[in-house]
Amino acid sequence: MKCIGALAALLILGACNGSFDDRVREQVHRSIETGAAPVVRVDNAAGSVTIRAQARNGVSVDATKYGSDLQEVRNVAVTVRATGEGIAIATSYGDGMHGGGVRYRIVVPAGASVQVSNLAGAVDVTGVRGNIDVATQAGEITVDAGRVAGDRSISLRATTGAVKLTVARQSSARVEAYSTVGDFSTDVPGVSQQRQNIVGARGSGTIGSGSGRISLNTTTGAIVLFGRP
């Protein structure tokens, strides 16, 4: 893999847009060449992560660092590096300070697999055809995974936040879903739903031959599994 884009930063000082922690922002862009099916790992602390797929190879990262002042923004670092299996994207903080955050918009090859860990912030993934593993402590997870079959695995976990997954009805996968406090609903044939311990819900079933794996979990939040043509 070869780095084809230099790290670029443009500091934007603007009026407060209603969010105390978003008065100062800095844009970071990085592009890295990859093969058709890299593993893209994202580790973030605060801020949303949006991932979209593209037909061509390569990973493009647009990150917006934000904070209540310049010091907070400069204390946040965004690292994008090639690994043996793909790309690692990470947020880190210096000097023991943890103010501010990063909003990511990432474009990956359609054949990529993604692994996202986000402490506080929504995660949205669309068009990725490889394995998808997403975990948040606080934030909604929304994934459109397309057809899930073969040995493909989808694992979505939120401590506090809803989980919404859309799959193609022609999928073939075993489904397990559990919310400790929250509902489970689905319109996918072959997947059943039931209450669990009054305040929780569980869903399970098999789509097609059940070759793939879908695991959906929340501690507090609803789970929705949609099917589309």
Cα–Cα distance for residue pair 49/117, rounded to 1 Å: 9
223 pLDDT more than 60: yes
pLDDT for res 14: 31
User: Once rounded to an integer, what is the mean pLDDT over residues 77-103?
Assistant: 90
191 pLDDT more than 60: yes
Q: Share the mean pLDDT of the chain.
A: 90
Spatial CB neighbours of 12, under 8 Å, sequence gap ≥ 6: 24, 25, 26, 27
Q: Is the pTM of this model over 0.85?
A: yes
pLDDT for res 184: 97
pLDDT for res 95: 75
68 pLDDT more than 70: yes
12 pLDDT more than 70: no
Whose structure tokens read 């800095």?
26
pLDDT digits (tens, 9 = 90+) for 98-156: 789 999 999 999 999 999 999 999 999 999 999 999 999 999 999 999 999 999 999 99
Cα–Cα distance for residue pair 152/169, rounded to 1 Å: 15
pLDDT digits (tens, 9 = 90+) for 31-60: 999 999 999 999 999 999 999 999 999 999
Q: Lowest mean pLDDT: which of 4-13, 18-27, 197-206, 216-225?
A: 4-13
pLDDT-above-70 percentage for the chain: 90
Query: What residue segments make up the domains of the chain, in order of their start?
Result: 34-60+81-228
